[in-house]
Structure 1
């Protein structure tokens, strides 16, 4: 019985040790297969590129969000004149640059949308004052021509005048003066910076102030304090103040103003 088991074990061992035959693909066949795969990939890429080139021009959709009717029409007219390629190959940065080229545009976003095409969204500059008679200026001092000329006649806007390059400086000066003179209940209506760096300021109560470019801020601040204290009783009689002096100033009185009542 033991001999029979050993013989069976030997037979199984022989089967285990028996070499297995494997089929080897010839090298030339493997190379041919790789060439076919690469060729197929190249063909797919070429067909995809041709499909992109032959694709119809993408539609440009201008969003009217945050825009007035005039601003929307202005932006749409400019964007509709642009020649664009397909949905995937259109140069979004070029379209963004064209949109920001409009003077009244502050920020622009251009994106791809499967349903609407290329979407252009713009935010307009927010004017807070007039610059001369034909332009507006925003809080950052950016001067621009509005899309609608009717925006030039807005009530409550102060008027800034000077070199366009000096617009940020003029805007900053106006904001600072308004802060200093706010306790007096007056604000700037016109402010001019001359080529010789002389400031001419007219307030909404008719008071006019002229000051040079030497210690300008300190002189204007001191005047606001004087008007609030020592000159408070005669404030309505003051027509103009000239601060172009190192050790003082001159006052022009309005002789037609009624005298201040004595307490």
Structure 2
């Protein structure tokens, strides 16, 4: 006959929108008493929120059941409706104003390919960093063709055959033989021999 346990959502590390989103979900949960509440069920519900990376749920004598969540940290835009974290996990943020951030590169392609696209962007950024070039947009088409646009305006198109080697070779060419002519280039097509 014990009263239902109180659910306390910790706001630590969360934006206002993330806190409100989590609080709304927790307010809808029917919990039993302090000792009999199913913490695993609450954990599962919390981790089902797209923007939640990790969650901790514990019992606290003063506050009741305490829910602490860590949000995913976006590192790039994925299209215009989603973000992607460093692991390549695509998610919808709790606050739509977090979408299409100027400081982020934009990745596009199938969501299942997000980790591959993320890895390719990081590799390309490493190779082109000595040239002071960063990926601004990277697209993987359904035909597995890569379209890369750098922050200096250069566009590169490359197919899925020896992609890494072609991109590495281009970075070396731009740093050496073609270093004086980089400003003249708008796009490079690496699909052909």
After the TM superposition, which segments of 4 or more aligned residues of structure 1 sit over 2 Å from their partners?
none
Match of 2:117 in 1: 170
Q: Shift of residue 156 of structure 1?
A: 1.1
Query: Which structure's relative contact order is higher, taking Cα pairs within 8 Å and 6+ residues apart?
Result: 2
Q: Shift of residue 128 of structure 1?
A: 0.6
Match of 2:149 in 1: 202
Deviation digits for residues 81-116 of structure 1 (CA, Å, limit 9, x no counterpart): 100000000000000000011000000000000110
Q: Find 1:124's aligned residue among 61, 71, 93.
A: 71
* Secondary structure at the counterpart of residue 201 of structure 1: strand
Structure that is richer in helix per residue:
1
Match of 1:78 in 2: 25
Q: Shift of residue 155 of structure 1?
A: 2.1
Give the TM-score, by structure 2 length: 0.99
Match of 1:34 in 2: none
Q: Distance in 2 between matches of 1:218 and 1:56?
A: 65
Match of 1:217 in 2: 164
Q: Shift of residue 245 of structure 1?
A: 1.9
Q: Find 2:96's aligned residue among 143, 146, 149.
A: 149
* Secondary structure at the counterpart of residue 153 of structure 1: coil
Report the structure number with the largest CA radius of gyration: 1
Q: What is the number of equivalent residue pairs in this alignment?
A: 193
* Alignment root-mean-square deviation, CA: 0.6
Give the TM-score, by structure 1 length: 0.73
* Secondary structure at the counterpart of residue 130 of structure 1: strand
Match of 2:190 in 1: 243
Structure that is richer in strand per residue:
2
Q: Which blocks of at least 5 consecutive residues in structure 2 are unaligned? A: none
Match of 2:180 in 1: 233
Q: Which blocks of at least 5 consecutive residues in structure 1 are unaligned? A: 1-53, 247-263
Q: Distance in 2 between matches of 1:137 and 1:84?
A: 33
Match of 1:45 in 2: none
